[in-house]
Structure 1
């Protein structure tokens, strides 16, 4: 929705959008002034960067937390995930240059020509590739693209495992959908467009979970048995009512140079599936995998086999987690979270990058969190692994002590206490 920038600023200052912001950021309307100020700031950034505009729109896409199913999505498996109350926001306004111009705070200006939307090999692993890919995808769906200026600000830490990349893709998708689609595409389609751009244009073979959790919002379980038509179901749960706080622990390690480590996981799983006559592990019954185990070891190596063991088990665990949450059985749920964490470290092996000795930040973060929690709560590697974050479910009565203990080890501000956001990609 486009409005004049002075109108937006006045409404934000007067608290007109307080109820909406309270819903997005999981707080009381009286506590939304800082969020309103963020939106006013992106409007200022838009004007400062690109000059004056008659009108603009405001948009948001949240980070996500993966609760169950670590690296199961790219094997057409099941996941349990939720959007969280940190996000990437933007102000967008038309320009007359037939260019998409995007300025993210702290980064270089990125400009693409809307007449040139073919994938470029030399652009892989760049923001321009993602933008060009998403524009191409929307054009294929009937969008009549025109020049647009976008100014972005984020409090989703980059490389932190809360998926700033998916939030960026969803944010761009929400903007293009709002501005240029006569018949709006669904949040699921926005997620699929983001994944396609990342796979085909950016050159990273990611799954679909991150984009889906950011785009759809709340807590959802997704079955990717048919990736073109994933089955998405809401999971009604309030962790705070169960006496649990959701913490995301920033290990201090960055994902930036680890694309090969991530790419190896789906590649090895697919190699095992191929030996067993399938494309991905979801195509192959576990019994078939066991029968073919000697051949898989010979052709794919033992790490690939161990990773397959993890995927089969974690896929089953998701269904058990969903059932436990439906039943309000949080003890079983926490046991399953811990099981997933152990499996990720022992079998999937996505806690420590191959050959790393001095830098094992995620491993140290897990060890410290387990020590502080004792036999309470649950801890697991979060998201892609190797770097970024660790997830902990912490009993509320232990939260202050746990947060202080983790930040004494990791550094101030490294323990993020988050809430599940009820909405995904949003137009303000």
Structure 2
């Protein structure tokens, strides 16, 4: 906890390097930016709150390295926290209200924690996520209470970096620190975030996003038992192998695409149900292909292709984890490109059939493939249909690639990101 006057001095004299270093892993640009961001948040906080005591929290975005739409069918994923985060100043309240301001906006998200009922009118809104996290914590036997937060957000909404999961993790960690003596495990915060997003926000996502934002570092997750996923750290530095990890925002809008995301899960589950199973994790490629004639009549062709993608992608995740552990970047790049091709051809989430005039993800992949000439890799990033792609670009071509993509999709569309080792935390 900091006194406002104390925090001002620490920011003025740049005495928070050690704390920021733990979060951003020595990334000088992120640390320098954190001083400016926190100073701005503090200035805003003093306009909205009279409290003299504040606490600082950080929750990262995440990047999906492998496992496109595998988590919701109990598959395997490879994900990582990144240096883009939500940085918040927080003070306790005594009136059972939670009020959250983002980027200095005058219209905060606000709920009363005495009302934790599901409200379908809130679907898709940040208030639903706050209410859902509170309900999830309360259902699990934890304490909840009021607070005011002012945050600066670097996890762009609709960018495929899981802004909503980052927000859920942030709210969960604030309540963990303020009311539960930091007793809640990061994995449980992630599970509660998934509950909030599925039940209160109305989006049938898997658990990868929340785990990537909550746990920190590169992690492999096996969701064979989704209530107790197996999590392992994977140590790797792409830049030491000569490649920059980049995200390109193709400026798509996710707001009307929840139905298309949901259809992927529904179609995969319909295939599993055909075999009297709950998820595609429980069927084999041989079973799928040998029954394709009957399945296409009963369910349809796209569902078969999406199930095929799941089976192949799930195996590919394991191979990519092994490639990183064996320091085999060439094999990893080959598998990353295979993942991108499978998502385009079989999963079919690189553009929306409802907005064929805007196919930014597909266009970004085309431009990137042409740019790389076989040295590097790219794939759709996250849920797909609109938003971002991920690319591994040779370090000596990052500036050239950035200028190219920015010229097509707008200024600051191409972003070089770094892996963040820190979990969601109090600073």
Kindly state the Cα deviation for residue 298 of structure 1 after the two structures are TM-superposed. 1.8
Greater displacement, 232-241 / 176-185 = 176-185
Is residue 143–residue 182 contact of structure 1 (8 Å, CA) maintained in 2?
no
Q: Pairwise CA RMSD of aligned residues?
A: 1.6
Is residue 26–residue 419 contact of structure 1 (8 Å, CA) maintained in 2?
no
Q: Secondary structure at the match of 1:59?
A: strand
Is residue 288–residue 308 contact of structure 2 (8 Å, CA) maintained in 1?
no
Kindly state the Cα deviation for residue 252 of structure 1 after the two structures are TM-superposed. 1.1
In structure 2, C-alpha distance between the alignment counterparts of 1:107 and 1:296, rounded to whole Å: 53
1:376 aligns with 375
Q: Which runs of 5+ in 2 are unaligned?
A: none
In structure 1, C-alpha distance between the alignment counterparts of 2:102 and 2:112, rounded to whole Å: 18
**Is it true that 1:89 corresponds to 2:82 in the alignment?**
no
1:56 aligns with 54
2:236 aligns with 237
1:407 aligns with 406
2:14 aligns with 15
In structure 2, C-alpha distance between the alignment counterparts of 1:33 and 1:240, rounded to whole Å: 21
1:278 aligns with 277
| Structure 1 pair 70–128 and aligned structure 2 pair: CA distance change class (3 A) | same
Residue deviations 1:356-393 (CA, integer Å, cap 9, x gap): 33111111111011111111100100000011100000
1:351 aligns with 350
In structure 2, C-alpha distance between the alignment counterparts of 1:42 and 1:7, rounded to whole Å: 15
Greater displacement, 195-204 / 399-408 = 399-408
In structure 1, C-alpha distance between the alignment counterparts of 2:45 and 2:18, rounded to whole Å: 25
**Is it true that 1:141 corresponds to 2:147 in the alignment?**
no
Is residue 161–residue 383 contact of structure 1 (8 Å, CA) maintained in 2?
yes
| Structure 1 pair 414–107 and aligned structure 2 pair: CA distance change class (3 A) | farther
1:156 aligns with 155
**Number of equivalent positions:** 426
| Structure 1 pair 305–124 and aligned structure 2 pair: CA distance change class (3 A) | same
Q: Which runs of 5+ in 1 are unaligned?
A: none
Is residue 145–residue 175 contact of structure 2 (8 Å, CA) maintained in 1?
no
Q: Secondary structure at the match of 1:43?
A: helix
Residue deviations 1:38-88 (CA, integer Å, cap 9, x gap): 122222222212x21031111011111101010000010000111111111
Moved over 4 A (4+): 28-31
Greater displacement, 152-161 / 100-109 = 100-109
Greater displacement, 58-67 / 39-48 = 39-48
Q: Secondary structure at the match of 1:144?
A: coil
2:69 aligns with 71
Is residue 245–residue 393 contact of structure 1 (8 Å, CA) maintained in 2?
yes
Scaled by the length of structure 2, the TM-score of the pair is 0.96
Q: Secondary structure at the match of 1:67?
A: strand
In structure 2, C-alpha distance between the alignment counterparts of 1:121 and 1:153, rounded to whole Å: 28
Is residue 24–residue 30 contact of structure 2 (8 Å, CA) maintained in 1?
no
